[in-house]
Amino acid sequence: MRPTEDVLAAEPPPAAAPRKRWYRGVGAQVAIAMAMGVIVGFAFPDFAVDLKIVGDLFLSLVKAGVAPLVFLTVVMGIASAGDLKKASRIGLLALVYFEVVSTIALLLGLVAANLLSVGQGARTDTSAPTDMPKGEGEHRFTAFLKDIVPDNFIGAFSSGQLLQVVVLAILFGAGLMMLKPHLQTQVNKGLEVISETFFAFVNVIMKLAPIGAFGAIAYSVGANGTGMLLALAELVLQYWVVVALFIVGILGLVCFLAGFNILRILQYVRVEMTLVLGTASSEAALPGLLKKLTRIGCSKQSVGLVVPTGYAFNLDGTSIYMAICSMFVANAYGIDMSIGQQAGLMLIMLLTSKGAATVSGGTFVVFASTVTATGYLPVEGMAVLFGVYRLMSMATAFCNTFGNVVATFVIAKWCKEMDTDKVNSALADPKAFLARTEDETNELVAHEPVPPADGAFPEDTNTPAPSLTSSTKK
């Protein structure tokens, strides 16, 4: 037993943090701002049209942080991929799997958007172009190549040409991989700090989202009546249906081919997935998933490689969101896109989707970069979509997170980095397995040796949990 004086001197457990008021959350504030915008739009349509400037100013602030974030995330993603390729067959197979499944998600989003004609009921009366630019401004192949290659490093950021920023990021990342290992480590640490700073900058801007959403919705209702509201409600419903179709159809087929039951896997991680739905953030479930996937029988190497890297490269929900919302903006503003132009849009999204953050709001920031990078989709559409982003981001985060869970099971089995018998036994009755492992954990805690008076524990000889790199943050 511990000495009595140590027990008395021990600090009392910290008091539970006060529960956050519901109206202090950005999601609730945006919802309230949208309702106020609808009222103002109906009651004072002429005044509401003048509020367009409010949404435009918010968008300008968002765009100010897009280019640096895209550059940093692409560079750090390349660095992560370079490390991954050296990690034997697990890393290579993971990269191939991520690209294939993400491409399928983009294709599904584009096909669904065309079949459902998303945004057709939201046709706006604006000065946005009703067709692709033609004539002297038409982007022929040579002109396109010339446009994406910058002649000035800083100019690529100031001009707002996101494709030039992506090209610079790819070349910079390739150069980073050629440095000596100790120099790579130093540069990566610096980039991580700068990236975190820019994400903090964007988070500050996002606190102004209710004001921007108020102006955008008020303008949309004042200028277009109920058409935009009905189109947004329809978009949210259609998006959830498409995400459900992807999870059940595509991910379900992948699990079936690998010999797993997708419903049993979902039952095993139901607590973490519920947390993701509540927070609309994939990052919220990461610590629990790392423990559970290792506990069920996946090797630490496979979990440590696939899960963190999947948070940067395997963003299926983000891919679907970007495809459907890009087509919504095009249809809402009367921009007719051919199959070839949609294929070009998909290539842009394959690049920009790798920079989507796992924190709530990150997908919208990267979607903004995609709209800007096209050069012909009007940025005004982003402010309208932000009003319903919270409702869509829950499905996005759920699909992203569960897609990485499925990827870990599948890749671990294909690479024989899994205790197959243990996994099959656990998935046969996930609830019983979780209860049993919880009891075992509690028993181990109850028999832990009491630390000495100075509070120092002997050095832990167990293998540490997989470390998370900056690529898990998006």
Domain boundaries, the chain: 25-133+143-444+466-472
Query: H/E/C letters for each residue in the chain?
Result: CCCHHHHHHCCCCCCCCCCCCHHHCHHHHHHHHHHHHHHHHHHCHHHHHHCHHHHHHHHHHHHHHHHHHHHHHHHHHHHHHHHHHCCHHHHHHHHHHHHHHHHHHHHHHHHHHHHHCCCHHHCCCCCCCCCCCCHHHCCCHHHHHHHHCCCCHHHHHHCCCHHHHHHHHHHHHHHHHCCCHHHHHHHHHHHHHHHHHHHHHHHHHHCCHHHHHHHHHHHHHHHHCCHHHHHHHHHHHHHHHHHHHHHHHHHHHHHHHHCCCHHHHHHHCHHHHHHHHHHCCHHHHHHHHHHHHHHHCECHHHHHHHHHHHHHHCCHHHHHHHHHHHHHHHHHCCCCCCHHHHHHHHHHHHHHHHHCCCCCCHHHHHHHHHHHHHCCCCCHHHHHHHCCHHHHHHHHHHHHHHHHHHHHHHHHHHCCCECHHHHHHHHHCHHHHHHHHHHHHHHHHHCCCCCCCCCCCCCCCCCCCCCCCHHHCC
Instruction: Give yes or no for residue 101 having a pLDDT over 90.
Output: yes
State the CB neighbour count (10 A cutoff) for residue 29: 18
pLDDT category of residue 130 using cuts at 50, 70 and 90: very low
Instruction: Give yes or no for residue 308 having a pLDDT over 80.
Output: no
Highest mean pLDDT among 1-5, 204-208, 232-236, 356-360: 232-236
Return the structure tokens found at 80: 């992560």
pLDDT of the residue at 251: 95
pLDDT category of residue 247 using cuts at 50, 70 and 90: very high
Return the minimum-mean-pLDDT range out of 27-31, 43-47, 105-109, 300-304: 27-31
Return the minimum-mean-pLDDT range out of 217-221, 269-273, 281-285: 281-285
pLDDT category of residue 262 using cuts at 50, 70 and 90: very high
Share of the chain above pLDDT 70, in %: 70
Instruction: Give yes or no for residue 134 having a pLDDT over 50.
Output: no
Return the minimum-mean-pLDDT range out of 225-234, 359-368, 373-382: 359-368
Instruction: Give yes or no for residue 240 having a pLDDT over 90.
Output: yes
Q: What average pLDDT does the structure give for the chain?
A: 75
Under 8 Å between Cβ of 268 and 427: yes
CA triple 42-234-224, angle to 5 deg: 30
> Dihedral sign, CA of 99, 105, 108, 109?
negative
Q: Which residues contact 149 (CB under 8 A, 6 or more apart)?
A: 164, 167
pLDDT of the residue at 359: 47
pLDDT category of residue 83 using cuts at 50, 70 and 90: low
Task: Identify the CATH assignment for 25-133+143-444+466-472 out of 1.10.1200, 1.10.3860, 1.10.10, 2.30.110.
Answer: 1.10.3860
Instruction: Give yes or no for residue 331 having a pLDDT over 60.
Output: yes
pLDDT of the residue at 60: 77
Share of the chain above pLDDT 90, in %: 13
Sort 68 into a burial class: Cβ within 10 Å, 0-12 / 13-18 / 19+: middle
CA-to-CA dists, residue 370 to 22, 161, 219, 361, 464, angstroms: 32, 11, 23, 15, 38
Instruction: Give yes or no for residue 452 having a pLDDT over 60.
Output: no
pLDDT tens-digit series, residues 405-440 = 999 999 989 888 888 899 888 888 888 888 887 656
Highest mean pLDDT among 59-73, 124-138, 147-161, 322-336: 322-336
φ, ψ of residue 298 in degrees (nearest 5): -80, 140
pLDDT of the residue at 364: 72
pLDDT category of residue 356 using cuts at 50, 70 and 90: low
Highest mean pLDDT among 6-10, 18-22, 36-40: 36-40
User: To 10 degrees, the CA torsion angle through 326, 329, 331, 337?
Assistant: -50
Instruction: Give yes or no for residue 353 having a pLDDT over 80.
Output: no
331 alpha carbon, distance to own chain's centre: 24
Under 8 Å between Cβ of 381 and 333: yes
pLDDT category of residue 104 using cuts at 50, 70 and 90: very high
Return the minimum-mean-pLDDT range out of 115-124, 248-257, 453-462: 453-462
pLDDT of the residue at 354: 63
Return the structure tokens found at 185: 């480590």
Average pLDDT of the segment spanning 90-95 = 80
Instruction: Give yes or no for residue 79 having a pLDDT over 60.
Output: yes
Q: Classify residue 97 as left (phi > 0), alpha (psi -120 to 50) or beta.
A: alpha
